[in-house]
Structure 1
Amino acid sequence: MRLATVSTADGPLAVALLNNEAALNIAKAAKDLPGVAGEILRAGTIQAIVDRSAEALTALLEITKEANSGGHANATFDPRGSFLAPIPHPRKNVFCVGRNYAEHIAEGERAQNTKIGITDHPVYFTKPATAVVGHEGDVLLFPSVSEAIDYEVELAVVIGKAGRNIPKESAYDHVFGYTILNDITARDVQRRHGGQYFKGKGLDGSCPIGPWIVTADEIEDPHNIAIRLTVNGDMRQDGQTRDMIFDIPTLIASLSEGLTLEPGDILATGTPSGVGYAMDPPQFLKAGDTVVCDIPKIGQLKNTVRLA
């Protein structure tokens, strides 16, 4: 099942995407649904569904099945051009993982003429909620701040069950679903702040997410997925999630050590090689560029670059 948030005259609205690409207004379709599940679905947000997915998902699957068979016609509409990030305002910073693909580490070493190496433990950083934008939203350029805005396509995990000190063997029990994230990075800002990640990766518009969340049951093996990115149709990144150094169970177990993960938390899992700063010569984003992140089992996240 694919769950998205779209913009409407009444504000953001959670929808389920049907087989014919129409959007099902979940809150409207659940208007007569009794019990706790009905209350959750009528809240009209993906966060509410993720918060109590055990109660909500079974009812939502049934409603979606009915809609795909022709039911709930008064609750369906064309969602094109109105996608927001699936969780438009995350409660917490977005968790991210650096240096999780060997070829990306190698290209960084060549570009910087330095030894970076593979770490013994995952490298974590965060992006603020103010950086989040949705599908077809704008990646912003701030010329007075940075002249080296780069891209990084990533598979992102959406947490659906709270936990701390989560064992690797039960990590997938805590996954609600998957989406796409573009870790936009101001390389020069990153360098001048000592190489630390937060400032150079936290500018407004630097965290496109979407276009929707695919629930975990739809992806049998998240480590058998192609992951690609194009700029103006030119293929820049073309990798496979099986090449992650630290797999998803390892990342969840490690991140949750002494740190509670909560429903709706988002964890980006790293990027393959092909980033702009490692090209010869470097190729940074410029106003008017179109960036498309493509993970075939999820979809395509498209954004345009513009001056702020």
Structure 2
Amino acid sequence: MKTPPRIALLSVPFGLGAGNPGSELAPRHLLHLGLLQSLQQLGCHIDEQKDIGEAGIQIPSIQLPMKHSAEVIATGTALAGEVYTVVSAGQFPFVLGGDHSLAMGTLAGLSAYYPRLGVIWIDAHADMNTESTSPSGNMHGIPLAVAQGRAQLSLSHLWPGAGIVSPANIVLVGARDLDPAEEVLIHSAGIACFGIADIRKLGIDAVIAKAIRLAGANTDGIHLSFDIDSVDPTEAPGTGTPVQGGLSSEEARIALRQLGLSARLTSAEFVEVNPLLDRADQTAKLAVELIEVLLSNLRN
């Protein structure tokens, strides 16, 4: 019987990349709700738990026309270093955010170790705007453009040796609120995008199977980036950019279980829970459950 991997739980209480305050409170809140204890009871091997901050990090000289870009870059740099250290030690990094701008730090650290990285992005949004196309100026809307080398900011600004992620190995799941520039990029680059209509037509099992196949083709591993706003706001209201018509909580459970069981998954992150916008901890409790489903099914 295969043994569970050694998980490094990296909490990042950072929310300045988002438009609404509150996601920075999520890591502590989810842990307060018993996440760590539940994972241990489920047999997850939590090898290390660490909080990541920006203290002591030298901010790169690059100047961006984006909100809080210096703080985002500093935090991403700190996170990238921890992620690189964790994967180099043979651990499975699980990043608990925080807003989705953190993905730049995660991907910087991962791409420095895995030259050919696949990414499954479960999110209501594509997060593929650049500094010049972003309607909001919020840094959580640009990570996948940065990862592809299409923005002024690059992953290598955050961590030496970081590479880029090939569009052929990026898969969007649940996207339903795309800006015009993102739609153009997705079409022109041939990025796989499974919207809610595709999920309802094919079934979440088939969509995730396809996502694993596409993101895993000729790659060193797959990173899962899960944004809670992928779930319909009737079930997950506590997030900063809710979009109607999302995944059901059951579809999210099925997807995360299937991904956890895949031998191709090498890292994951969970972002955009906002306790200040939640109703009676509905979203936070669902987040705890979904994380448990993912990590309790991991196997080497």
In which range does the TM-score fall when normalised by the shorter chain? under 0.3
Q: Which has the larger radius of gyration?
A: 1
**Larger helix proportion of the pair:** 2
User: TM-score of the superposition, structure 2-length normalised?
Assistant: 0.26
**Larger strand proportion of the pair:** 1
User: TM-score of the superposition, structure 1-length normalised?
Assistant: 0.26
